[in-house]
Amino acid sequence: MIKTKGIVQGLGYELLYADRDSVFIKGKDTITIPTATTTNGNQQVVEVLCKETDLSISIDYNYKFLVLLPLKADENIETLKHYYGIIRQGELIVRGIEIRRHDIPEFIKQFQTELLFTLFNCKDSIDEIVSKGYENFLLLITKAIFNY
């Protein structure tokens, strides 16, 4: 991981998160996980990582927006495999939250999915999520409460 971090940063990417089998990196415009389809814009980092680490590397997702959830004990440390985001193709990717659990009622999963799509229904601006996405998110919650 330390070698991967150095390579990624040396190529001008920011390492956002790493665990035993994946890394999340951020370029100027993208958040990517090099860990099944490689996108042309990130081919260089994949080739260098493969060569330097002697590991088979591929890109799973190219995120439009990504949220890494903090560890409850320390907000500065991300919890392993607890994140959600939306990829450029519009698919929601989630790990470690209620949507993925088998013991959560289906209506909760559907509502959480709708909330996340509402939050991420923005162009490529974090500012737009904070203003428009968050506002629509709260309206959806309010509507659900009053219709309950």
Q: Is the pLDDT of residue 91 over 90?
A: yes
52 closest CA partner among 12, 92, 4:
4
Q: Looking at residues 86-96, what average pLDDT do you find?
A: 91
Contacts of 19 (CB under 8 A, 6+ apart): 80, 81
Q: Is the pLDDT of residue 127 over 50?
A: yes
13 and 76 belong to one structural domain: yes
Q: What is the mean pLDDT of the chain?
A: 80
Structural domain including 55 reads 1-96
- The C-alpha R_g of the chain, in whole angstroms, comes to 17
Amino acid 4: pLDDT: 87
Contacts 24+ apart (CB under 8 A), 21-25: 22/60, 24/66, 24/68, 24/83
Largest CA distance in the chain: 57
Q: Is the pLDDT of residue 108 over 60?
A: yes
- Boundary residue ending a domain (96, 111, 126): 96
102 and 78 belong to one structural domain: no
37 and 88 belong to one structural domain: yes
Residues in the chain: 148
Amino acid 56: pLDDT: 86
77 and 116 belong to one structural domain: no
Q: pLDDT (tens digit, 9 = 90+) per residue, 23-71?
A: 888 876 555 555 433 455 577 888 898 999 888 888 888 888 888 887 7
Name the more confident of 122 and 117: 117
111 closest CA partner among 69, 73, 144, 134:
144
Name the more confident of 134 and 4: 4
